[in-house]
Amino acid sequence: MLNTRASGVLMHLSSLPSPYGIGVMGEETKRFIRKIKDMGFSYWQVLPLNPPDFYGSPYASNAAFAISYLFIDPRGLVRDRLVKEDELSRSLYHGSPYTADFEFAANSRLELLKLAYSRISPEMHKKIEEFCNAHHWCEAYTLYGAAKERFGGKPWYEWDEPFARYETAVQHADELKAAQDFFKFVQYTAFTQWREIKQYANENGVKILGDMPIYVSFDSADVWENRHLFEIDDRTFIRKRVSGVPPDYFSEDGQLWGNPLYDWVAMEKDNYRWWCERIRAALQLYDTVRIDHFRAFASYWAVPADSDTAKNGVWEKGPGKALFDAVENELGEVPIVAEDLGVFGEDVVKLLEDTKFPGMRVIQFGFEPDADSTHLPHNYPRNCLAYVGTHDNNTLLAWLWETDDYHRRYALDYCGFTGDNWGEGGFHSPSCRKIIETVWRSHAAIAIISYQDLCGFGSDARMNVPGRAFGNWQFRTTEDMIAQIDTEYYKKINRIFKR
């Protein structure tokens, strides 16, 4: 239950400015925190910090617990006296400052980290081992990373025995010790830098709202270590059923995500230990955590693994409140936000009522003239987070330009914008501001705006188009663009609407 009225900014770490091709946990991040604090915001929402996939998506990671090494600030390695100042030149990015270059960042950062690791002291080695002992997932994840490197990046289910099975791989861990120790150093460094960022945010009155994908990738350390907790044939390593969503208005074939499904019967036997540990770990990184696709805890779409589309799936009952009872018994009351967007039934409504977790509302979804949508601000409950738009939405300005006259006119009328000059104003579009202010004056305890809408950007700044494989997650900004934000305007609406 949310008890304070506040506001926040949605901005992924990768989108922040830096000299290294992608946002990092450095001084630019601290300046961004100071900027949003100065505007009166008290939440910074980030997308998952886990290692992204080949396309840059943080929602298809090979590790549910780890932090991506892409976010490590090379200058921190200089401060730790592991890298010399003149050795940073290979990490400097000379491409567009408006694009996150994951490939460049991965190659250059890995090279620098290996150089830094070659210089660690015995004292640091001891700290790294202490870190790994304190984080139960670290041993399996770093062994997974070492084995994946040994087998040329192949997925774990294509590795040679004994490494294809975690329980036998640990018996041969000595063969991978040097590589595993390097990956331990990487995670120690990433967590150390993130703790500094989070502490800085909290000291400046800004809380971190994190993000947790509900599913994990088939090729992940989590599945490799815990095959028995997923719907996987233990002999052949073949997935039995996979995740997705059924056909709807937006997709006649549904969406076939392909993640292995949880074996909830197996998870119940140890009182949902894996989920308790995952949520515990997330709350060490964030002040509050949003769980993506929360509806699957009530009921989830299960598709045969050999299906070409999501059409042939069936609805299955999820663990429901039993899971969160186990979490509460283990961790106490936890600050969780439920991503409850999309179409769902009474089972999801009941789970939200039982857990009392706040849900989400997105004003763009509400502008249906012929319906009294729950996404219209007059229907917002107090216990929710109200969004101008999420990372999956078009920007607000682009939505206004691209929607039809009928929906645009309804949106503008609803938000009190009169006249026909809705497209004027550029970064300071008065029509966009009317919509933002409508969200801000709503009853919702927390109002969130994406950085792109904070600046009034168009569709070229969109973060993600669901269902599109390429061209997502690449948006990045600059120090100059952050400086041009209309600070006084956001100070004003946060003050007026008591946020």
Residues carrying an active site annotation:
292, 339, 392
Three-state secondary structure call for residue 384: strand
CA atoms 467, 473, 474, 478: torsion sign: positive
Three-state secondary structure call for residue 105: helix
Contact 366, 375 (CB under 8 A): yes
Q: Taking Cα atoms as reference points, which of 336, 343, 432, 333 lies closest to residue 385?
A: 336
Question: What is the C-alpha separation between 289 and 337, in angstroms, rounded?
Answer: 6
Contact 13, 49 (CB under 8 A): yes
Q: Give the strands of the sheet with 314-317, arranged side by side.
A: 255-260, 241-245, 299-304, 314-317
Q: Give the strands of the sheet with 288-291, arranged side by side.
A: 336-338, 288-291, 207-212, 43-45, 6-10, 446-450, 384-387, 359-362
Residue 332, sorted as left (phi over 0), alpha (psi -120 to 50) or beta, turns out to be left
Question: What is the C-alpha separation between 315 and 308, in angstroms, rounded?
Answer: 18
Three-state secondary structure call for residue 194: helix
